[in-house]
Amino acid sequence: MREARELLAGRADIRFARRVVTRVADKTLEDHDTLDDDAFQEAAARGDFCLFWQAHRLRYGLPRVLQDEMQAGCVVVANISRRAIPEAVRVFPVMDVIEITARPEIRAERLLRRGRETEASVRERISREVECNIPPAVRRFIRIDNSSELSQAARKLVESLQKS
């Protein structure tokens, strides 16, 4: 996502959502806003998020302002959980799903390199892969294989976004 965002720098009509996560931000992996669990729950109760979900023992949220940006005609790109797609379809009236995936051994290697999970938890995470079930309301479904060079997947993502 970071490389695609850099390739699209200067395109005011394509915005990359900044997530709120209950994990300290690591700018080398994903620069996001951080809230502790209690603050996150309070923000959700206030309606600060247009979409929020739990995955991998963390909470994730997308700021409500993204809906305003979409209504203003922007393409908004957000990294969400596959399990959040049905709710996202209810929140965003026009939605494409771009699944970026890689072979299991590649995903495992990348997760281990991040250093946030043990080898056992990574194996468990890879083994319980969630199928990407796409609701009929989704406008387009695109799958990008990110098993090889990052630049190839980034270019495919950019091409998909420019067709939105």
Instruction: Give me the pLDDT at residue 96, please.
Output: 95
- SS3 for 74-115 is CEEECCCCHHHHHHHHHHCCCCEEEEEECCHHHHHHHHHHHC
Q: Each residue of 91-119: pLDDT tens digit?
A: 998 899 999 988 988 888 888 888 878 88
Instruction: Give me the pLDDT at residue 130, please.
Output: 65
pTM as predicted: 0.82
Domains of the chain: 2-157 (3.30.63.10)
Instruction: Give me the pLDDT at residue 163, please.
Output: 84
Question: Mean pLDDT in the chain?
Answer: 90
| Mean pLDDT to the nearest integer, 7-11 | 92
Residue holding tokens 């995936």? 101
Beta bridge partners of 51: 62
Instruction: Give me the pLDDT at residue 128, please.
Output: 73
